[in-house]
Amino acid sequence: MMERSTAVIGTFLTLWAVLVVRGQCHTPFFIFGDSLMDAGNNQYYPLSTQPARVWPFGMTFPFHGSGRVCDGRLVPDFLAQYANMPFIKPYLEPGFTNYTDGANFASAGAAVLAENSPNAIFLKLQLSYFEHVKKKLEQQEGHKKTQELLSKAVYLLSMGGNDYMKVGNPKPGEVPLTASEKKEYVTIVLGNITSMVKKVYAMGGRKFLFQAVGPLGCMPATRVGPGAEGCSHEVMSLAKMHNTAMSNVLRKIEKTLPGFKYSMFDYFSTLASITNYAPKYGFKEGQAACCGSGHFNGGFTCANTTAGFNLCHDPTKYVWFDGAHPSDSANKFLSALFWSGPLKVVWPRGAKELFHMP
């Protein structure tokens, strides 16, 4: 009898220890961004003009109808998996009120500047959603517990691409921005991002992940020809300017805000590399999309049964699923680098280190 009691007590203490460790290591994950991060918010956003994602979107996802602009998972999905977390739910999902694991505020079509995303959840609106989550957490968990959760949380931001596509992809006859106009525009975009980061910091946030703006001119939708030389120059130059300036801004913020830690992933260079040299990384096709129509399959007709669209047989062999969104396989490749890649692609630390920080 004594041995049985001892065994029961030992089992209880083991389980208790596991629960304590899990509680100490619990890291909520909050996600801000555009279609590269949207886990389904646009399905529920009343102003969205984009239809709910239907097949072939989600065709390789564990369950179809994921609401993601992809055949499968996105970068934040993989990061959550690496951190031993469930997929983070979209904030607008009906009935979603348990925010202890975090929330995804991203919206397809979203931009930093409100005027560039009239039918999507722009950055300041996403921030207001986070403020609402903080209030709900305080009601559910109390002020002290909420502050602990928010200070341990990791905050991912990936936005700006739609802002630069708005002004950096001039139509025939339009005059491209001058160098000084580009610099001024990048400064405005970054000023809004910096303001948002400081507000999240003021609410308790300390650990931030930033995904650089991608190679906007190398997407199937914007590509003008084959090979690296076939990428559109104007919008690429804006993305490069943004990423360089963003890196400088983050170094300054880390020096001025006590406890602020960050990780910046060079999404631009890594995605451009697998796009233009796909076979080197195990992909069959890097420049044409799996789903779409027209030049490089870059036309946004995927899932449009009226207009019609082409669909590849195996999305896992493609870098791009549609005209502007990487495939599940590409996102997996990119996420692994974001999580624990070398310093030349993710700095000054990988996402893994931030998630494991106390």
3-state secondary structure of 292: strand
Is 325 a catalytic site residue?
Answer: yes
CA angle 266, 268, 273 (to 5 degrees): 105
Residues 118 and 358: their CA atoms lie apart, in Å, by: 39
User: Which of 77, 325, 327, 335 is the catalytic position?
Assistant: 325
Which of 160, 237, 236 lies closest to 192 in space, CA to CA? 160
Active site residue 38: no
Query: In terms of Cα–Cα distance, which of 160, 124, 132, 155 is closest to 35?
Result: 160
DSSP-based helix, strand, coil % in the chain, nearest 5: 45, 10, 45
Q: Nearest to residue 208, comparing CAs of 224, 221, 193, 220?
A: 193
Query: Looking at 34, 77, 101, 322, which residue is catalytic?
Result: 322
Exposure string over 152-189, b if 16+ CB within 10 A, otherwise e? bbbbbbbbbbbbbbebbbeeeeeeebeeeebeebbeeb
Is 328 catalytic? The answer is no
Neighbours of 330 (CB within 10 A): 27
Virtual CA dihedral for 60, 62, 67, 69, nearest 10 degrees? -30
Q: Which of 34, 35, 77, 329 is catalytic?
A: 35
Q: How many residues does the chain have?
A: 358
Hey, what are 233's tokens? 């120059």
Catalytic residues: 35, 322, 325
